[in-house]
Structure 1
Amino acid sequence: MSELIIKAGGFTFGARFEEADAPKTCAMFRKLLPYKGQIVHVRWSGEGVWIPLGDEDFGVEYENHTSHAGPGQILLYPGGISETEILLAYGGVCFASKMGMLAGNHFITLTSGLSNLKKLGNAVLWEGAKDISFEFA
């Protein structure tokens, strides 16, 4: 069962919060819903797209953090040595920036629409930025 609907680049995905492992990040993001942004392709991390958030401070620290997101996992990098961002992996990711390796809080996992995930990533890579939205299911 999906708690969230994520729409990006003409595709729709179901998703769930990772409440048990990232409760503070999930609680913070729930307050922002519905959330809209734009995704661009990652520069250093591999097969992923991200929402650049600059100096945005969401008031969360590391929890359930990883540098190796799997396809369909969404991470929040809370800021520090690089800018704040949300990353969505569509393939192999080794999360990094020009400053080096990063770790982000895995707080959302896609639960449906996964067959379109690589199509979304390739569209962002070859066509450029796409709108993305997160809303309650």
Structure 2
Amino acid sequence: MVQRIKISSGGYTFIAETHPDAPQTVAAFLNLLPYQQKLIHVRWSGEGCWIPLGDYELGVGFENHTSHPSRGDILFYPGGYSETEIIMAYGSCCFASKMGQLAGNHFLTITEGMENLHALGVKTLWEGAQPILFELV
């Protein structure tokens, strides 16, 4: 069953839907809601923002993983070669770290508010970390 998640960051609101091909990641993430963190701009991946999670373990492995998220795709990287993280693509993106190319579980897709996604990315790039909140609709 697809769940809708409200995402608030940088003065913008987005609605995302869970991805049915990542059921374990979705279930684990839903247990965290409401989830609040800081969103920062990526270093190597292009037009994306990420939430660094260090050695946090969500308890899932790889499923529905990709290195090339589309605009509005949100991935969870369960760790291994680099630290655990969540990455949100706002434009052209190739998921990578200082260790090289990575793949993350595509578990959310933004379906509403896409017109503000690039503005959030640019704001995060030029103004720094933005609070981000994920909550059920």
Runs of 4+ in 1 over 4 A off after TM superposition: none
SS at match of 2:59: coil
Match in the other structure for 2:99: 99
Tell me the TM-score normalised to structure 2 length.
0.97
Measured after TM superposition, the shift of residue 128 of structure 1 is 0.3
- What aligned pairs does 1:16-95 form with structure 2 within 5 A after superposition? 16-18=17-19, 20-95=20-95
Gaps in structure 1 of 5+ consecutive residues: none
Measured after TM superposition, the shift of residue 2 of structure 1 is 6.8
Match in the other structure for 1:12: 13
SS at match of 2:83: coil
Tell me the TM-score normalised to structure 1 length.
0.97
Match in the other structure for 2:125: 125
Count of residue pairs brought into register by the alignment: 136
**Share of identical aligned residues, percent?**
60
- CA-based RMSD of the aligned residues comes to 1.0
Measured after TM superposition, the shift of residue 52 of structure 1 is 0.3
Measured after TM superposition, the shift of residue 73 of structure 1 is 0.3
Gaps in structure 2 of 5+ consecutive residues: none
